[in-house]
Amino acid sequence: MASAASPGQEPNDGAKAVADAEAGNWVDRIAPVSWRPYLRLARMDRPIGTWLLLFPCWWSLTLAAVSNGQPYPDLWMLFLFAVGAVVMRGAGCAYNDYVDREFDARVQRTASRPIPSGQVTPEAALLFTVALALIGFCVLIWFNLFTILLGIASLGLVAIYPYMKRLTYWPQAVLGLAFNWGALMGWAAVKGSLDWPPILLYAGSVLWTIGYDTIYAHQDTEDDLMLGLKSTALTFGDDTPFWIGSFYVVALLLWITAGFLAGTHLVFFFGVALVGLQMAWQVSTLDTKDAGNCLRRFRANRDVGAAIFLALVTDTLLSWWAGLS
Q: What is the DSSP letter of 117?
A: T
- Mark 2-21 as b/e (b = at least 16 C-beta within 10 Å): eebeebeebeeebebbbeeb
Q: pLDDT value at position 322?
A: 67
* pLDDT tens column, 170-213: 999 999 999 999 999 999 999 999 999 999 999 999 999 999 99
Q: Which residues contact 310 (CB under 8 A, 6 or more apart)?
A: 271
Among candidate residues 140, 19, 20, 56, the one with its CA nearest the CA of residue 91: 140
Domains and CATH numbers, the chain: 26-320 (1.10.357.140)
Q: pLDDT value at position 321?
A: 77
* pLDDT tens column, 244-259: 999 999 999 999 999 9
Contact 78, 312 (CB under 8 A): no
pLDDT over 90 at 325, yes or no: no
Among candidate residues 148, 177, 182, 194, the one with its CA nearest the CA of residue 54: 182
* Amino acid at site 88: M
Among candidate residues 234, 196, 199, 195, the one with its CA nearest the CA of residue 214: 234
Q: How far apart are CA 272 and CA 318, in angstroms?
A: 17
Give 42-55 as a DSSP string. TTTT-THHHHHHHH
SS3 8: coil
pLDDT over 50 at 137, yes or no: yes
